[in-house]
Amino acid sequence: MSTGRHDDAPIAARVRHLESTLERLGVLAPGEIDAKVDDNARTGSPAHGARIVARAWIDGDFRRRLLEDANTAIRDLGLSMAGGVQEQRLEVVANSATTHNVIVCTLCSCYPISLLGPSPSWYKSEAYRARVVREPREVLREFGLELAPSVDITVWDASAESRYMVLPQRPPDTGALDEPALAELVTRKGLIGTALR
């Protein structure tokens, strides 16, 4: 997300400035650092969120339980939100034809790292945290996600106790795909809500 602003803490601003300079000079492709982070964590955390989504796409009972009590449901896959002293609450919110969900933490950058991997730099930026609440449609458009005016956008604000994850809609024409193949369709941005899946 390009905002043209450097109003975060000085270190974060310098990192973003260096990243944009390297992109402008052609040393890095746009988004390359976030892509590398995704690649490094592929065998770990982001794959966990993708597995959860794929299971929900093929198993209606799991989907129902996931939306009612995500902490209990993800144990079916050997996953947990217990990373610290106490288990964090996980809320999974489902996209539909009429509703699109996006997550943010307006106070800091609370995020389900155990399920989505390291948070992308833009998720932690002050610009994203402030703007996605005020103008979610415009922010999503900057990510390349153009939603119909009839689609309602709900922004979920994470906290120290609660984390959110988006359950994207299953793509059409995927009925023949098995669970691992479906999981390959899911991206970290889709789990945050800045992409369709």
The answer to whether residue 5 sits within a structural domain is no
Q: What positions carry a catalytic annotation?
A: 105, 108-110
**Is position 3 within any domain?**
no
| 53 within domain boundaries | yes
pTM: 0.77
> Would residue 123 count as lying in a domain?
yes
Domain residue limits at 152: 10-192
Determine the Cα–Cα distance for residues 64 and 56; give it in Å rounded to an integer: 8
Note whether residue 4 is domain-resident.
no
pLDDT tens digits for range 36-56: 545 434 434 688 999 999 999
Which residue pairs, CB below 8 angstroms and at least 24 apart, start in 9-18?
12/121, 12/124, 12/125, 15/121, 16/121, 16/125
Task: Label the pairing between strands 89-94 and 99-104.
Answer: unpaired
185 is a domain residue: yes
Q: pLDDT tens across 79-109, in order? A: 988 755 467 899 999 999 999 999 999 988 7
The number of distinct structural domains making up the chain is: 1
Domain assignment present for residue 173? The answer is yes
AA identity, residue 175: G
Strand blocks (E) in the chain = 89-94, 99-104, 152-157, 162-167
CATH value at residue 136: 3.90.330.10
